Chains A and B, each alone.
Chain A
Amino acid sequence: MTGILTASDVGKSYGNGVARMAIIEGLNLSIAKGEFVSLVGPSGCGKTTLLMCLSGLLAPNVGMVGFKGQTVTAPPIGLSVVFQDYSRSLLPWKTNLDNVLFGMRRVTGMDAPQKKARALEILEAVGLTGFAGHYPWQVSGGMQQRVAIARGIASQSELLLLDEPLAAVDAQTRADMQDLLLDLAKRFDQTCVLVTHDVEEAVYMADRVLVLGPRPTRVVREIVVDLPKPRDQISTREAPAFLRARHEVMELIRSMRQGKALS
């Protein structure tokens, strides 16, 4: 398999013997450069564990994760995770600007003033002009998550792993953030893998939706979302292709929750 991010036959379990609990088993996927892929699955299927394995923060028991052709053993340069819990992911003793600069620790080929200029530029791109000197706890939840996204992009990232990044923000902010993420992905050439439990969001954002099976999880279906970009919050969500994809994903997840056999 080729692609910027690959997983071959990945398995992850906790415990041993009778207490062994398999979370992931025989999982394969490949993400092409520039793609926006959503991962959805029934609740508790191990989405977050999978994302930890893909990011190198957790080592799989079997199989291999590859990033840009290299086996992932620790979080590699060029890959960053945006966590759901932004308020715990941002460092509260650092200002928003310093949080973004913290993400640029491993960035090479820039001196300190250049890094600062770049950080301010990205903060401006996420709509936080004038909030660089604020602390994360002085701004709203949506703004905090934008700082975290800016920090991810600033780390010279090529691949963003988004772990339910919008689950904790309110509904209106959420729609704006979805469009912002799509815009940022294009503007900063980011390949994105979005883990979400929101099927509509998964379809709206993605070029491709990968549906995960129940635990121990693996990819059970791939659905290509045949919709033009840029997406539009009103017309995209009414397009027949959107509704078809949404129908397929929802039906699949419902059948899994009812414990039906999978093809």
Chain B
Amino acid sequence: MTIGLLAEKFRVPICIALVLGGWQIIFALGVVNEKYFPSILTIASAFWQMLTDGVVISAWATTFLRALIGLIGAALLGVALAILSDLSPVLSRGIRYVSDVLQPIPPAAFVPMAVFMLGLGTKLYAFVIILVTVWPPYLNGVAALAGVGQVQLNTGRMFGLTDWGLLWRVKLPAALPEIFTGIRYAATLSLIAVIVSEMLAGRDGIGFMIFKKAFAMRTPEVFGLMFLVAINGVLLNGLVNLLRRGLTGWHIRMMERPE
């Protein structure tokens, strides 16, 4: 077995080793104060301690569920808005204006207003996540539905599809791969929105814990919690990819086929 093949086979452990090794080298060189840049071992032991006392596990699950439910809601709403835009040019322009105004506002800026309006709790999370996350599925959905080819639409009509039939049986299946590009981006946004909301207005969850530990200068714990956030991102992306493979596997295989 050549070195290339070995590297290919063990690429995941090799990458992890490189990241951890790099971290340790920076630590050993002492470029950054140890207080703010602890060694891997310190982080690992702090992390292990948090895991065993159980609080962090429930915070992790809470954050993950919020991000997941928020993503599902935002994706469904975004696609619904895209369908409405496709059906009516008037609605399309209206929704577009709203999106142009709301989209550039960062998640953190929504939180104070949401606290006044909705108080602390589930409603606040739903509000912030959806306002931040709904746009990529909506924008990609609008572009994808508008991009469905005239020949495909004529084909559907030739075989007797009504406008609703065309939407369900031709337009949406044709648009789904591009919609999923938006949903994948939305997954990241959803996680950001949850963490920010938890930091600014939360009483639980990973974001809240990061904020608390950071104020207490518990650097190893902060790094451990950030690692959990990263795991959340990987898990959420994995779920979205699973669904994408299930619903638009044909498109993935079509794109991957050798010419």
Contacts and interface: CB of A to CB of B under 8 A. Distances in A.
Nearest to B150: A88
- How large, as a class, is the contact surface on chain A? 20 to 34
B42 interface: no
Nearest to A87: B151
Interface string A35-65: 0000000000000000010010100000000
Contacts of A55: 158
A21 interface: no
B158 to A, nearest CB: 5
Contacts of A77: 160
A75 B257 contact: no
A57 B173 contact: no
Interface string A112-139: 0000000000000000000000010110
Interface stretch (A102-110, A184-192, A247-255): A102-110
Interface residues of B, number: 19
Main secondary structure of the interface of A (DSSP, over half): loop
Contact of B250 (A52, A75, A85, A93): A93
A61 B151 CA distance: 22
A102 B248 CA distance: 18
A105 B152 contact: no
Contact of A85 (B151, B160, B248): B151
A106 B159 CA distance: 7
A74 to B, nearest CB: 8
Interface of A: 52, 55, 57, 74-75, 77, 80-81, 83, 85, 88-89, 91-93, 102-103, 105-106, 135, 137-138, 155
30 contacts: A55-B158, A57-B154, A57-B157, A57-B158, A75-B160, A80-B159, A81-B154, A83-B151, A83-B154, A88-B152, A89-B152, A89-B154, A91-B152, A91-B155, A91-B173, A92-B254, A93-B173, A93-B248, A93-B251, A102-B159, A103-B159, A105-B159, A105-B160, A105-B161, A135-B250, A135-B253, A135-B254, A137-B254, A137-B257, A138-B257
